[in-house]
Chain A
Amino acid sequence: MLLRYRGREGMFAWLFHRIAGVAVWAFVVLHVVDIYLVGGNPKVYNELLQIYASPAGRIMEALLGAALLYHALNGLRIIVMDFWPPLTRWHRQLWNLCWLLFAVVGLPVAYIILKPIWEGIQP
């Protein structure tokens, strides 16, 4: 499907937005449950936190941040074009701007989140 349909930037902006949105939704479901456990069963919550703090957990955390940041930036792009339709002409440039901001904000954040992996800090 991806190779045959020549949707270019517009299609990928939409596809990534949808995948990132569903991914963040899945984490929100998990996150409300884990915070519920802080009150309901703190011991199980603390055990779950060990998984979040593990190297694999940190990689998932960085991916969650990436999904959230892309969805937030592209969401603004959608809103801007929905309410000022002439800007739709520049949808490709706006998408490139999203990626620029994504890199400028996301790379330092990913570094901070992942750093404990190679520094070997265990909780």
Chain B
Amino acid sequence: MSGRYTRVGRARPSGGGSELAIWYLMRVTGLALFVLALTHFLILHVLYDPAQQDASWIATVRWSSIFWRVFDWSLLMLVLFHAFMGVRTVVIDYTGGRARRFLLAALYLLALGLLVAGTSVVLTLPVVPK
């Protein structure tokens, strides 16, 4: 526990290494997500209605341009890091010993699976021009 820093967020780890790197990366990815995730939500839940976003809408409208594929893939990378490192902090806070090791291993495996699944669909969904 560091006295100098607020406990609203996680206290900045003293020393250095990967824990400090993760602490900074949570803030950097958080700032990027403030822009990208809120933009994504604004477009797909406010400007468009999810009810119209069936599979053919995604192929012909949303992902018909490289720009939005790159945008959504960047969002995927940022959110996977931020969300899984965040849940990692929660797991570390409430568990210990074998339960913690098991949950963290399951968490990293799930993150890897989603990274592969998300990347593959961004790359392989056929481009259908409008």
Contact = CB atoms under 8 A, between A and B. Distances in A.
Interface of A: 10, 13-14, 17-18, 21-22, 24-25, 28-29, 32-33, 35-36, 38-40, 42, 45-46, 49, 52-53, 61, 65, 68-69, 72, 74-79, 81-82, 85, 88, 91, 109, 112-113, 116, 121, 123
9 contacts: A21-B90, A25-B84, A25-B87, A32-B117, A32-B118, A35-B121, A72-B38, A78-B8, A91-B8
B103 interface: no
B58 interface: yes
Contacts of B102: none
A38 to B, nearest CB: 5
A13 B31 CA distance: 18
Interface in B11-64: 12, 27, 30-31, 33-34, 37-38, 41, 45-46, 49-56, 58-59
B125 A72 contact: no
Contact of A38 (B31, B58, B80): B58
A53 B50 CA distance: 7
Given A38-B121, A46-B55, A78-B9, A28 B83 contact: yes
Contacts of B79: 28
A77 B114 contact: no
A36 B21 CA distance: 31
Give the size category of B's interface with A. 35 or more
Given A21-B86, A38-B58, A65-B45, A13 B4 contact: no
B110 A113 contact: no
A88 B6 contact: yes
A72 B54 contact: no
B41 to A, nearest CB: 6
A53 B45 CA distance: 11
Contacts of B8: 10, 13-14, 17, 74, 77-78, 81, 91
A88 B9 CA distance: 11
A45 B62 CA distance: 15
A31 to B, nearest CB: 9
A32 B114 contact: yes
Nearest to B47: A112
Nearest to B50: A52
